[in-house]
Amino acid sequence: MSFIGEVKDDYCFNTIAANDTNWKDNGIPDPESIKKIREIRGWVLKNGQSRVVNGPATPPETAAVTLHDTSINSFMGVPLKGASGLVRGMIALANKDGDFNAADQEEVEHLSFAFVEALERWRSEAALRESEEKYRLLVNQIPSLLQNSI
CA gap 150, 145 in Å, rounded: 9
Instruction: Tell me the pLDDT tens digit for each residue of 37-61.
Output: 667 778 888 889 998 888 755 554 4
Q: Which of 33, 12, 14, 32 is nearest to 22 (CA)?
A: 33
DSSP code string of 85-136:
S-EEEEEEEE--SS---HHHHHHHHHHHHHHHHHHHHHHHHHHHHHHHHHHH
Q: Is 10 helix (H, G, I), strand (E, B) or coil?
A: coil
Classify domain 2-149 by CATH architecture. 2-Layer Sandwich (3.30)
Q: What is the model's pLDDT at position 35?
A: 58
Q: What's residue 33's pLDDT?
A: 53
Most confidently modeled range among 23-27, 28-32, 78-82, 103-107: 103-107
